[in-house]
Structure 1
Amino acid sequence: MLHWRAWNPAHFLTVQTNHFGAAPASSGLRLDQLPDNQWATVLDVARPEGADDRELVLRLTEIGFVPGEAVRIVARGLPGREPLAVRLGHTTFALRRHEAALIHVAPGVPEGASHG
């Protein structure tokens, strides 16, 4: 007999974002602190302190900022060094500095990871 379970996007997102605000497993760096053109691996996406709105974390997770993904900053805008042009896999996104600060990374990419 087969048992079907309903797909629950909230459960998937909770797993991928470390319960929306729990501290990352490793200290790492924030993405906005990563030197330009240095590849890193996403560790976690954390919620801003004191915020109860999950939309920003949800958006970052939906576009692919999940643990294990390869990422790098390819350019910073002028003036103010914003926005950041961020390469995630084979796609480039523009992030504001405060958005990039929510993404925790570790320098280097996992073996076998694809990066553009």
Structure 2
Amino acid sequence: MRCTQVPLSDIAVGQSAVIVTLGITGPLRRRLFALGMLTGETITVRRVAPLGDPLELEVKGYRLSLRKAEAGRILVAPRA
């Protein structure tokens, strides 16, 4: 069975997914790693701002906000 990968920005509110790849570089990548956004971790989209940017995410029991453009560079596998 093949795993479908989609950008994190395409995940619906309330849906969870597993992080496959972080297509982000530099200081932001290091910061996300420090916050626990690692390959294989489960991430949930909790809320999206009224205009669609930013997204509120939950990973490892805490919440953080990420711009939609940045979330679009993170590939995830939606959970059933």
Q: What TM-score comes out, normalization by structure 1 length?
A: 0.60
Unaligned runs of 5+ in 2: none
4+ residue segments displaced more than 2 Å: none
Q: Count matched residues.
A: 78
SS in 1 for 2:37: coil
- The Cα RMSD (Å) is 1.8
**Equivalent residue number for residue 76 of structure 1:** 48
Q: Deviations over 1:30-69 (max 9, x none)?
A: 110111111110111013xxxxx61122222221111110
**Equivalent residue number for residue 21 of structure 1:** none
Name the structure with the higher strand share. 2
Unaligned runs of 5+ in 1: 1-25, 48-52, 110-116
Shift in Å, 1:89: 2.1
Seq. identity, %: 24
Relative contact order (C-alpha < 8 Å, sep 6+): which is higher? 2
Q: What TM-score comes out, normalization by structure 2 length?
A: 0.85
Task: Work out which of the two has the higher radius of gyration on C-alpha atoms and give 1 or 2.
Answer: 1
> Aligned partners of 1:64, 1:107: CA distance in 2, in Å?
18
